Chain A
Amino acid sequence: MPFYLEAFTNSFCKLSASMPVVLLRRILPWRFSILLPLMLLAFGHSAQTQEKPYFVTYDHYLEEPGSLEISFNPLFGTQRAGNNFFAAWTEFEYGATAWWTSEFYLDAQTTLGDSTVFTGFRWENRFRPLQHEHWVNPVLYAEFEDINGADKTLLEVVGHDVEADHAVPNALARGERAREMELKLILSSAWKSWNISENFISEKNLSNQPWEFGYSWGISRPIGLKASAARCSFCKENFAAGIEMYGGLGDWHSFGITDSSHYLAPVLAWNIPSGWTLRLSPGFGLNGNSHRFLLRLGVSREFPGFGRTVSHLLGER
């Protein structure tokens, strides 16, 4: 059995017995564990989405105006010189306008044989400065994050982020607080039904640390290009597949790929007509500084009438 399957199976078996309780009590803060199901019930109307399969790379497509997408994204990672871990982020993505999308994240992780910790939040905004489609479509991205050193969501890899950073016990790592500003230039193209996206990442710890840099790129395509006339769950057009690669590029004082980690990850998305999207991505570390294996899952649902529903609740005639 390949090492990554063995590691995942062993870790999953160990965790599975306690996972529901852990998830409810610790990974999700208690307020949130109550709020999420209520929101899902309150805004039951949903629509099929056309999500790209990437986990780390952004393309130039923003959330539709007035739509809210909620997604839960667990991650399993192997760890040398330490314990394997599960991490997860919950994401609320709202289309404020056709050219502006705002997202709020809550992060958490469970390290096997250690503990489960809430690791912080992120608030990001993406803007499309150009009004029409071009060969290359830029998107400006700005994020504030308040996370602690135990965060293992690997939502981006920058600077000299390496696997060994995640071997630190949670009790120690969570004491390190990182308030960071992250800026990205997202370039994305649509070419013959393919999407090609490149992200240039810069991140600054606000406590007088140097700028750190990273990259990611991805390419993907729907498996079926024509829609069928009938609604179907397993039609080819509901699936999209691709690949993404991401890693660090050092910092202001030592730019480059030395002492940085890099990953290559096939990605697959399944857009179900009921409005749910499932995504899967096994990722493989490309050098000795990288986790050998990462497995990402994503479950998301879109609520297209969220803005309108809220305005009704607030008294719109």
Chain B
Amino acid sequence: MARNALAILFCAWIAAQAVALAEMDASEQARQQQRRAAELAKAPPRAHSLTNPLADDPQAVAAGRKLFEEHCQECHGERAVGGKKAPNLRQEEVQSAAPGVLFWFLSNGNLRHGMPTWSKLPEPERWQLVSFLKSLAAEREAASQPMPGR
């Protein structure tokens, strides 16, 4: 009996979490997007000086795209234009950020605002993701174009 009650409580708790996500309104989403983008400005000076060791790797964008699909698109959307839970990665604040800053942010995440830390991915994979993100700059004006690396 106690087991059943606990199981029901657990299910109710999961449902409550889901409802809380659903109740986030549009203005809150916009505020969150700005807040998350502002997090990039918190990167330490040494992050700005980091260079992408895979910048010249012709496979890096395609590999980064694969990693994006596996780990990021659930929140950031198939086209990286963001969603309820995560910001648009084509926006100016992201695309104008130094590669080292993006790498720092990927590694650290922003737990309070829903971004997990991705230091569980090896460093080269994080740089591949950075390569992919920077490749979005070329087409951010034309959001309807196919994504690079396909």
Asked if B96 is at the interface (CB within 8 A of a chain A CB), the reply is no
Q: Scan residues 123-145 of chain A and give those whose CB is less than 8 A from a CB of chain B.
A: 123, 128, 131-133
Of A18-26, A62-70, A167-175, which stretch is located at the interface? A62-70
Q: In whole angstroms, what is the CA distance A172 to B21 when docked?
A: 47
Q: In whole angstroms, what is the CA distance A132 to B107 when docked?
A: 9
Residue of A nearest to B70 (CB): A48
Of B27-35, B59-67, B87-95, B137-145, which stretch is located at the interface? B59-67
Chain A residues, Cβ within 8 Å of B59: 228-229
Q: In whole angstroms, what is the CA distance A307 to B7 when docked?
A: 17
Contact with A along B1-14 (1 / 0, CB 8 A): 01100110010011
- Set B85, B108, B124: member contacting A133, Cβ < 8 A: B108
- Set B63, B64, B85: member contacting A65, Cβ < 8 A: B85
Chain A residues, Cβ within 8 Å of B62: 229
- Cβ–Cβ contact B117 & A50, under 8 A: no
Residue of A nearest to B121 (CB): A50
Interface size range of chain A in the complex: 35 or more
Q: Scan residues 5-58 of chain B and give those whose CB is less than 8 A from a CB of chain A.
A: 6-7, 10, 13-15, 17-19, 21-22, 54
Of A79-87, A203-211, A219-227, which stretch is located at the interface? A219-227
- Cβ–Cβ contact A237 & B116, under 8 A: no
Asked if B78 is at the interface (CB within 8 A of a chain A CB), the reply is no
A contact face: mostly helix, strand, loop, or mixed: loop
- Cβ–Cβ contact B18 & A314, under 8 A: yes
Tell whether A66 pairs with B6 under 8 Å between CB atoms, given A98-B111, A133-B119, A192-B123: no
Tell whether A226 pairs with B6 under 8 Å between CB atoms, given A50-B120, A133-B117, A314-B15: no
Asked if A193 is at the interface (CB within 8 A of a chain B CB), the reply is yes
Tell whether A65 pairs with B67 under 8 Å between CB atoms, given A193-B122, A225-B125: no
Chain A residues, Cβ within 8 Å of B117: 60-61, 132-133
- Cβ–Cβ contact B119 & A226, under 8 A: no
Tell whether A314 pairs with B123 under 8 Å between CB atoms, given A64-B74, A123-B10: no
Please tell me the number of chain B residues within 8 Å of chain A, measured between CB atoms: 45
Asked if A311 is at the interface (CB within 8 A of a chain B CB), the reply is yes
Asked if A112 is at the interface (CB within 8 A of a chain B CB), the reply is no
- Cβ–Cβ contact B109 & A98, under 8 A: yes
Which of B3, B75, B116 counts the most A-chain CB atoms under 10 A from its CB?
B116
Q: In whole angstroms, what is the CA distance A60 to B116 when docked?
A: 11
Q: In whole angstroms, what is the CA distance A128 to B18 when docked?
A: 21
A276 → chain B, closest Cβ, in Å?
13
A274 → chain B, closest Cβ, in Å?
11
Chain B residues, Cβ within 8 Å of A226: 54, 63, 122, 124-125, 128
Chain B residues, Cβ within 8 Å of A227: 63-64, 66-67, 124-125, 128
Tell whether A98 pairs with B116 under 8 Å between CB atoms, given A132-B108, A132-B109, A231-B66: yes
Asked if A305 is at the interface (CB within 8 A of a chain B CB), the reply is yes
- Cβ–Cβ contact A307 & B21, under 8 A: yes
Asked if B81 is at the interface (CB within 8 A of a chain A CB), the reply is no
Q: In whole angstroms, what is the CA distance A67 to B114 when docked?
A: 12
Chain B residues, Cβ within 8 Å of A133: 107-109, 117, 119
B8 → chain A, closest Cβ, in Å?
12
- Cβ–Cβ contact B114 & A65, under 8 A: yes
Chain B residues, Cβ within 8 Å of A225: 122-125
B144 → chain A, closest Cβ, in Å?
24
| Contacts A273-B70, A307-B14 known; 16 new A-B pairs at CB < 8 A | A48-B70, A64-B75, A64-B116, A66-B21, A66-B75, A96-B17, A97-B111, A97-B114, A98-B111, A98-B115, A99-B112, A102-B13, A230-B66, A237-B122, A237-B125, A316-B22
> Can you list 21 A-B pairs with a CB-CB distance of less than 8 A?
A47-B71, A62-B116, A66-B85, A98-B115, A98-B116, A99-B112, A123-B10, A131-B112, A132-B111, A133-B107, A133-B119, A192-B123, A193-B123, A226-B122, A229-B66, A237-B125, A304-B74, A307-B17, A307-B21, A314-B15, A315-B22
CB-based closest 9 A-B pairs: A229-B62, A316-B22, A310-B18, A311-B18, A193-B122, A225-B122, A311-B22, A190-B119, A99-B111
Q: Which A residues form the contact surface with B (CB < 8 A)?
A: 47-48, 50, 52, 59-62, 64-67, 94, 96-99, 102, 104, 121, 123, 128, 131-133, 146, 190, 192-193, 195, 222, 225-231, 237, 273, 304-305, 307-308, 310-311, 314-316
